[in-house]
Amino acid sequence: MLGLTSTLNYRYTAPTTMEQQIQQPETTAFSQQTSYQQPLKAKNSGAKWLIIFILLLVLGGAGIYFFSKSANEPIATPTPSFGVVPIDTPPATSTPLSTPVAIDRDEVTIEILNGTGITGEAKLLSDRLEKLGYSEITAANADTTDNTATTVTFSKDLPQAIQDEIKKELESFYKEVNVKTSTTQKSDVVIITGLRSGQTSKATSSATPKATSSATPKPSTSPIPSGPASITN
């Protein structure tokens, strides 16, 4: 029995040993495969970290480049608007040059009235206007002779160029010039002269009172009484 048991135990354990023998190559192969994969994983892990390191270097260099570039560029300061609404400016149009108007001085009628009472004032102004080219000029005395300011009255239809020329001449000659316009006067220009620059008004002569003679009273005679004379002792 013992021997059988031993044999049975041997036979029973023998397959176990054979199984171990059969499984041992698989274990060895697995261990060899595991030992082969460990270096491969280590290589892959090292390559991964190398790639990550290179990417970090590239990103860091790019960041440093853009930062230095932006630091060198001037910072644009925004301009405050204050809510101003832009106004459309119309395009500039060129103004045509005005053609000078021809002045026909020979047809302008001028009437000069001496308003100061000083002899020769109307003739003096008439000579000055004739030098400018005016020929239709008449001279006379004004109703008043105490005018200090010169008054010129232009006809409403008289060209502006003639008005400006005569007005300029009067202002260069007289102290004060007053300008008027009229629609009823017959002459184109009527001038009442005043005092010239630096001129004083005409002195008025006062009448000398005549001496009046007073009558000298004559002496009166007293009457002599009539009757007999009395004799005194």
In the chain, the percentage of residues whose pLDDT exceeds 70 is: 54
- Would you say domain 106-192 falls under CATH 3.40.630.10? no
Evaluated on CA atoms 188, 194, 199, 204, the torsion sign reads positive
pLDDT class of 58 with cuts at 50, 70, 90 = confident
SS3 140: strand
pLDDT (0 to 100) of residue 66: 75
In the chain, the percentage of residues whose pLDDT exceeds 90 is: 39
User: Average pLDDT of the chain?
Assistant: 74
- In order of 108, 144, 152, 190, the CA distances from 120 in angstroms are 22, 16, 18, 17
pLDDT (0 to 100) of residue 3: 45
**202 has a pLDDT exceeding 80:** no
Q: What is the DSSP string of 186-226?
A: SSSEEEE--PBTT--PPPPPPPPPPPPPPPPPPPPPPPPPP
Higher confidence at residue 206 or residue 152?
152
Select from 155, 158, 166 the least CA-distant residue to 128: 166
